[in-house]
A and B are shown apart, each in its own frame.
Chain A
Amino acid sequence: GAGVSQSPSNKVTEKGKDVELRCDPISGHTALYWYRQSLGQGLEFLIYFQGNSAPDKSGLPSDRFSAERTGGSVSTLTIQRTQQEDSAVYLCASTRTGLRVDSPLHFGNGTRLTVT
């Protein structure tokens, strides 16, 4: 596709359930980022991938959060045993080669997660 695609666009789940969020980056983009946008909290960095590996996992809030990327393309963010504080918009972004002047970050529309 032409842009970063995230699915689902909205997800409502019960506390304690597991959820899986998907991101399809722009074709050929090697770097992929996950951010969380909570009301009044700005964008919180979660994790980024260079190819299939994640050089920095420091942003993951807890061990309930995990992410993987396969084939240098699709990434999934999994949240186990969801809590109400996990409610937020989860944003994915990709860039062709990393943060270079000619390689801007492209964002998807996000997945709005609501934990009831």
Chain B
Amino acid sequence: AQSVSQHNHHVILSEAASLELGCNYSYGGTVNLFWYVQYPGQHLQLLLKYFSGDPLVKGIKGFEAEFIKSKFSFNLRKPSVQWSDTAEYFCAVNAENAGNMLTFGGGTRLMVKP
């Protein structure tokens, strides 16, 4: 069964600091990978996705993620965070043998101090 681990549960950064949130998944075959973000009081929305091709994926608001198959990882990065990036971030995986099932990690709460 597919599973997703996000090791950082809470991250606190100052504005302009660089961000990297870890995401590891357990499935050894072909996967589709996603990062979702939930801003305070808002619904979950897609930040970026990887299906195939270039393993470095660029998303909205300056976020990017790199798929490293050998490490079963899909870490989220942003070179310089802003206060408005304060939110909860969820990594998710869809394995090729799981049909349309999307499994989420436990989430990482990011607080950016102004």
A interface list, Cβ under 8 A from B:
3-4, 31, 33, 35, 40-43, 45, 48, 50, 55-56, 91, 93, 95, 98-101, 104-105, 107-110
Contacts and interface: CB of A to CB of B under 8 A. Distances in A.
A81 B73 CA distance: 40
Interface stretch (B11-19, B43-51, B63-71, B77-85): B43-51
A45 B101 CA distance: 8
Contacts of B32: 99, 101
A104 B100 CA distance: 12
A55 B99 contact: yes
Question: Which 4 pairs across A and B sit closest by C-beta, in order of nearness?
Answer: A42-B106, A43-B104, A107-B44, A98-B100
B90 A43 contact: yes
Interface residues of B, number: 25
What secondary structure prevails in chain B residues at the interface with A?
loop
30 contacts: A3-B43, A4-B43, A31-B100, A35-B104, A41-B106, A42-B104, A42-B106, A42-B107, A43-B90, A43-B104, A45-B103, A48-B100, A48-B101, A50-B100, A56-B99, A91-B43, A91-B44, A93-B44, A95-B100, A98-B100, A99-B94, A101-B32, A101-B49, A101-B51, A104-B46, A105-B46, A107-B36, A107-B45, A108-B43, A109-B42
By secondary structure, the A interface counts as: strand
Contacts of B42: 109
B102 interface: yes
A92 B32 CA distance: 20
A8 to B, nearest CB: 16
A91 B99 CA distance: 20
B105 interface: yes
Given A55-B99, A91-B44, A107-B44, A45 B51 contact: no
Given A42-B6, A56-B101, A107-B36, 13 more contacts: A33-B102, A42-B105, A42-B106, A42-B107, A43-B90, A48-B100, A48-B101, A98-B100, A99-B94, A100-B51, A101-B32, A101-B52, A105-B102
